[in-house]
Amino acid sequence: MGEPVAFRCVSCGREYEPWSVDYTCPRCGPRAGTLEVIYDYKSLGRRLTPASFAETRRPSLWRYEELLPTGVEHAVSLRAGWTPTYACRTLAAELGLSALWVKDDSLNPTASYKDRATAVAVAAARKLGREACSCASTGNAATSLAGFCASAGIPCHIFVPKDAPKPKVAQLIAFGALVFAVDGTYDQAFDLCSEASARFGWYNRSAAINPMNVEGKKTGALELWEQLEGKIPDYVLVPVGDGSVISGIAKGFSELVWLGLAERTPKVYGVQASGAAAIAHAFQRHLRGDPILPADEPAETLADSIKVGKPRDVVKAVRYVAATGGGFVTVEDEEILAAGQALPRRIGVFAEPAAAAAYAGLLSLLRSGVIPEGATAAVFITGSGLKDPEGVLRGLPGPTVIPPELQAVERALSQ
Amino acid sequence: MGEPVAFRCVSCGREYEPWSVDYTCPRCGPRAGTLEVIYDYKSLGRRLTPASFAETRRPSLWRYEELLPTGVEHAVSLRAGWTPTYACRTLAAELGLSALWVKDDSLNPTASYKDRATAVAVAAARKLGREACSCASTGNAATSLAGFCASAGIPCHIFVPKDAPKPKVAQLIAFGALVFAVDGTYDQAFDLCSEASARFGWYNRSAAINPMNVEGKKTGALELWEQLEGKIPDYVLVPVGDGSVISGIAKGFSELVWLGLAERTPKVYGVQASGAAAIAHAFQRHLRGDPILPADEPAETLADSIKVGKPRDVVKAVRYVAATGGGFVTVEDEEILAAGQALPRRIGVFAEPAAAAAYAGLLSLLRSGVIPEGATAAVFITGSGLKDPEGVLRGLPGPTVIPPELQAVERALSQ
C-alpha cells in the first residue's frame, strides 16, 4: 500500500505528519487550507512500471493501492473505479479530432465519480478506527457516502438544507443514512456538519476539506492513462462544481509525470456553467496575477451537480489546472442541454447534465480554436442521467403513434 | 472466438446449421420453438482452463468469447458484463448462511442485466451484416438495445404499447431510437415488431425469440464462477419475467459442467411475483408430469420488469431450471418492497423492485427450509433502482428537520 510522507497545505505549504490532521491546515483554515497528500515519488517511481497495476488484477481503483493513502484491506466491498473508457471514432472524425475518448464514470456503485472519493475516504475512516461518517451535500457525494457506509455497516449522517430535492433525500434514506434537514442555508448545513462531526467523532467526507477525496478522484486519470496504454490525450475535459474532481484528475496526471510513467500531462480544462462559474473567474484572476482566494458568487444552472456558488476547492483547482497548461471554459445551459441529448444518441452514454457540460465544453473549445484540429481529447462523464432523466430529456419529441398494422410502420418510416 | 455447431430447437430437438435460422424453429413456432446455441463442449473442454478467461484481460463478457457465438471483433464499445460480485458476510451470518454473494448487474451500460443479451445480439447483427435492429418491449431490454445501437451507430426500432410509461419511452428517444407507440396490446406490438423486422430486414432482439439473448445472459453465471474462484454456490436466486435471464444463467452453469470446469451446477431458483407467476405455475405442472407449454395468465405486481403474463421463454426456463435441481418460488408485493428497502440499507446496492424480488425469494426459501442453514447462496441483482426510485422507496419515512444548531443534532440523536 501507499505510504504518504506528508499532508501539505495547498496555500501556505506547511507540511504535517500524515494522519496527524484530519482535514485542513489549522493556520489557513477550512477554505484556503485544504491539504495535499504527498508520497515519495522518487522511490515509488523506481518501483512502479506500466505493468505494476494490471498485475494486481483488481478491476477497481484499488489497483493503484501503492499511490493511495490507505491499503485495500480497509476497503469496503462496493467496487469503485475501473470504469470503461470508450473510443468514439465516428464522433472524433466528425469533430475533426484524431481521437476522442469518453470515460464513463456513471458505472460506479452509486452512479457517479464521487464514489472514487468515497471509496478512499471510507477506507480511511476504517483505518483510523472511526465508527461513523458524515457529509454535507444533497447530491452525488452524499448518496455515495450513504451507499458506502451501508456496505461498511457503519452509521452515516447527512446534512442537507431543508429544501433539498425530495428524490435525492429519499435515496439517502434508502441507504439507511440519518438525514438532518437543516432549516437554513447550504453553508449552515456544511458548518453544522463540521461542528457535529468534531463533537461526535464522525469522519467528515464533506467536499474539499477531506484530503482523501482528491486521492480517490485522481484515480480516474490513472485509469485513463492505463486504459489508453500509456497514451496521454492532448486535452481532458472535466465538469467543475466544487473543484475537487478536477483537482483530483489533474493531480493524477501530474503524479504519472513525477513517477516517470508519463512524459507530460494533458491540458486539463474545467467546464463550468456560465451561470455558476466561480472557479473559472478565480482562474481568470489568477492569470492576471491575483492571488488565488476562496470565491463566493451567485449560482444558477440546470446542471445541479455543478450549481455551486461558494466552491470549496478553489485553490487546488486553479493551481493544479494551471500546472497542466489547461484552463477553464464556461457554457450556456442550452449548450449543456444539447450536449446531454447528443451524448446518448451518438455514443450510447446517458450522462447527467453536469457531465454533459464537459462535452459542451469540448465543442466550445473546438469552435473557438483553443483545441486545434487533429488533437486528441478525453471527456469525463461524472454522473448518470438516470439521476435526473427529466433534466436531460427536456424538450425531446414523443414517440410515433401508429395502429397495429405493417402499412402504418411503412408510412411512418417514409416520412 | 466460439464456433457454434448447431442451433437446436428446445422443444422438438431438431438441429439447424448455425446462422441458417435467425430466430425460432420453423416447425414449433415462435413460442415453443426457441433455439439453443450448441458448441463442441468436448473440444472446448480440452482447451479451456480456469485461467483461460482471465488471460484475455477483458473486463467485460467478451472474456468468454470462446463460449460466445460471435467474436469480440463485432462488439460495440459499450462494456457489458464483468460486474462486481460482493460477499455479504454480516448479512450471511444473520440469515444463517455460510456465504451470501450478490452480483450487481445494475452496473452495466444501461443499468440492467439485459445489456448482456444486447451486447451479443448487436454483435450478431454486425456479424450478419444487418444494418438495423428492433425490439418489442417498454423496459430494460428496449433501453438496452437503444443504447447499444447508438454505440454501434445503427438505427433502432422499438415497438411499445401506446400506454407505455412516459419516462421509459423518453429514455428510448434519448438514445435516438425510433419508437412506435402501437395503439394496441403488448402482444400486438410484439407481433408487429416481428412482422416489420421481417419486412425491412431489421435484426429482431425481442425477448426469447432471438437465440443470442440467452448466450449473452449465460455470462453472468460464468462470471460468478470465475469471481468466486471456481466455487459454485449451493443456491442461486434469479428474478423471472419472460424466463430468458434464468435460462441464460442456468445454461451458463450447465456449460461449466459440460466443459469440465465445474463439478456441479448450483440449484437455480426462479423468483416470481405471486401475481405474475406463469412460469412458476408451468414448472409445477411440469413436476406433475405435464408437458411444458407456453402459458398465458393475468399479471399484476409492483415489480414492472417481471410483470409478465405471457412469458416468451417458458420451455427453456422450466427445462433448464429443472436440470439444475432448482425450482421456482413466488413472493408477495409486500415482500418485494421490503426486500427492495433492505438491500440498499444493508449492502449499499440500490436494486429495482424486480431485482429485489430475488432477495425476497431467498428469504422465503430460508423460512420454508428449502434452503437449509449453513448453505451458500448468490442473488442476481438484474436492474438499478434508479430506473424506478419511487417504486423502491414507497413508504419510507422522511428526514429529521432541525434548526442549524448543534444541540438540535444532539437531541435528534438521543431520540
Kindly list the residues from chain B whose CB atom is less than 8 angstroms away from the CB atom of residue A175: 344-345, 348, 350
- Residue where a domain stops, chosen among A168, A201, A234: A201
**CATH code, domain with B315:** 3.40.50.1100
3-class SS at A42? helix
* Range with lowest mean pLDDT among A257-266, A385-394, B148-157, B343-352: A385-394
CB contact under 8 A, B413 and A200: yes
Residue A384 has pLDDT above 90, yes or no: yes
Same-domain status, A257 and A183: no
CB contact under 8 A, B107 and A153: no
Which of B174, B182, B183 lies nearest to residue A396, judging by beta carbons? B174
Residue A213 has pLDDT above 80, yes or no: yes
Kindly list the residues from chain A whose CB atom is less than 8 angstroms away from the CB atom of residue B410: 199
Same-domain status, A282 and A182: no
pLDDT at B170: 83
Kindly list the residues from chain A whose CB atom is less than 8 angstroms away from the CB atom of residue B227: none
Average pLDDT of A268-282?
97
Same-domain status, A104 and A164: no
Same-domain status, A192 and A218: no
Which of A149, A171, A195 lies nearest to residue B406, judging by beta carbons? A195
Distances B7 to A200, A333, B19, B107 between C-alpha atoms, Å: 64, 52, 8, 31
More confidently predicted of B406 and B171: B406
Q: With pLDDT > 90 as the criterion, what percentage of chain A qualifies? A: 86
**Is residue B298 domain-resident?**
yes
pLDDT at B83: 98
Contacts of B56 (CB under 8 A, 6+ apart): B62, B63, B65
Mode of pairing for the β-strands spanning B267-273 and B235-239: parallel
From A386, A120, A385, A146, select the one nearest B388 (Cα to Cα): A386
**Is residue B376 domain-resident?**
yes
Beta strands in B105-249 (DSSP E): 133-136, 156-161, 178-182, 203-204, 235-239
**Is residue B244 domain-resident?**
yes
CB proximity A391 to B under 8 Å: no
Average pLDDT of A255-269?
98
Residue B138 has pLDDT above 80, yes or no: no
Q: Partners of B402 in the beta sheet?
A: A182
Beta strands in A60-210 (DSSP E): 85-87, 99-104, 133-136, 156-161, 178-182, 203-204
Distance from CA of B286 to the nearest CA of A (A): 35
pLDDT for B10-60, tens place per residue? 999 999 999 999 999 999 999 899 999 999 999 999 999 999 999 988 999
H-state helical runs in A232-352: 244-258, 278-287, 314-323, 333-347
Same-domain status, A144 and A223: no
With cell 495535499, the residue in question is A36
Same-domain status, A261 and A197: no
User: Are the beta carbons of A141 and A158 closer than 8 angstroms?
Assistant: no
Average pLDDT of A16-40?
95
Same-domain status, A305 and A378: yes
Instruction: Determine which of B131, B159, B160, B173 to mutate to test the interface with A (most A C-beta atoms within 10 Å).
Output: B173
Same-domain status, A367 and A333: yes
pLDDT for A46-69, tens place per residue? 999 999 999 988 999 999 999 999
Task: Please give the biggest Cα pair distance in chain B.
Answer: 76
3-class SS at B55? helix
Kindly list the residues from chain A whose CB atom is less than 8 angstroms away from the CB atom of residue B387: 386
**Is residue B345 domain-resident?**
yes
Which of B148, B150, B191 lies nearest to residue A346, judging by beta carbons? B150
pLDDT at A1: 67
Interface of B with A in 194-253 (CB under 8 A): 195-196, 199-200
Kindly list the residues from chain B whose CB atom is less than 8 angstroms away from the CB atom of residue A110: 348, 350
Average pLDDT of B135-145?
92
Residue B90 has pLDDT above 70, yes or no: yes
From A285, A297, A293, select the one nearest A316 (Cα to Cα): A293
- Residue where a domain stops, chosen among A201, A223, A252: A201
Average pLDDT of B328-337?
97
- Residue where a domain stops, chosen among A201, A227, A259: A201
Q: Which of B30-34, B373-377, B382-386 has the highest mean pLDDT?
A: B373-377
**Is residue B414 domain-resident?**
no
Q: Which domain holds residue A320?
A: 85-111+213-393
Counting the structural domains of chain A, the total is 2
Rounded Cα distance between A159 and A181, Å, is 6
Rounded Cα distance between A215 and A193, Å, is 22
pLDDT for A135-189, tens place per residue? 998 789 999 999 999 999 999 999 998 888 777 888 899 999 999 999 988 889 9
Q: With pLDDT > 90 as the criterion, what percentage of chain B qualifies? A: 86
Same-domain status, A243 and A350: yes
H-state helical runs in B232-304: 244-258, 278-287
CB proximity B173 to A under 8 Å: yes
**Is residue A45 domain-resident?**
no
Residue A279 has pLDDT above 70, yes or no: yes
Distance from CA of A23 to the nearest CA of B (A): 20
pLDDT at A206: 95
* Range with lowest mean pLDDT among A234-248, B194-208, B294-308, B389-403: B389-403
CB proximity A409 to B under 8 Å: yes
Distance from CA of B409 to the nearest CA of A (A): 7
Residue B388 has pLDDT above 80, yes or no: no
Average pLDDT of A107-136?
97
Same-domain status, A156 and A260: no
Same-domain status, A196 and A225: no
pLDDT for B64-85, tens place per residue? 999 999 999 999 999 999 999 9
CB contact under 8 A, A348 and B57: no
Band the pLDDT of A293: cuts 50, 70, 90.
confident
pLDDT at B264: 98
Interface of A with B in 279-338 (CB under 8 A): none
**Is residue B202 domain-resident?**
no
Which of B176, B386, B397 lies nearest to residue A345, judging by beta carbons? B176
Q: State the average pLDDT for chain B.
A: 95
Same-domain status, A158 and A234: no
Residue B139 has pLDDT above 90, yes or no: no
Residue of chain B nearest A155, judged by CA positions? B345
Distances A58 to A52, A104, A244, A353 between C-alpha atoms, Å: 11, 18, 25, 30
Residue of chain A nearest B194, judged by CA positions? A406
A57: left (phi over 0), alpha (psi -120 to 50) or beta: left
Q: State the average pLDDT for chain A.
A: 95
**Is residue B307 domain-resident?**
yes
Residue A391 has pLDDT above 80, yes or no: no
CB proximity B395 to A under 8 Å: no
